[in-house]
Amino acid sequence: MLDPLELLWDNLLSRQADLIRPAFTSLSEVDQQMVLTHLQRMTTEPGWHPEQRISAQTALDALSNTE
């Protein structure tokens, strides 16, 4: 069984907007900003696996389409 933090990130990086958006909106505003910052870093900083970059960008795209 996944712990809550693992489940949160599994949903955020799932590439499925119907999982990404509720996971994100369940967070406080402070946590939402931290997640957005981390996702942005995943897409721009070296050292991330290409699949992780795609998942992070997909999450950012899904979240930007709701705001």
Q: pTM score, two decimals?
A: 0.90
CB distance 56 to 36 below 8 Å = no
User: In this structure, are residues 15 and 32 in contact, taking their beta carbons and an 8 Å threshold?
Assistant: no
The string of pLDDT tens digits covering residues 3-36 is 999 999 999 999 999 999 999 999 999 999 999 9
Residue listed under structure tokens 């950012």: 60
For residue 55, with 0-12 CB atoms within 10 Å meaning exposed, 13-18 middle and 19 or more buried, which class applies? buried
Average of per-residue pLDDT across 33-44? 98
* Phi-psi category of residue 47: left, alpha or beta, with phi > 0 → left and psi -120 to 50 → alpha: left
Is the pLDDT reported for residue 67 higher than 50?
A: no
Segment 27-52 shows an average pLDDT of 97
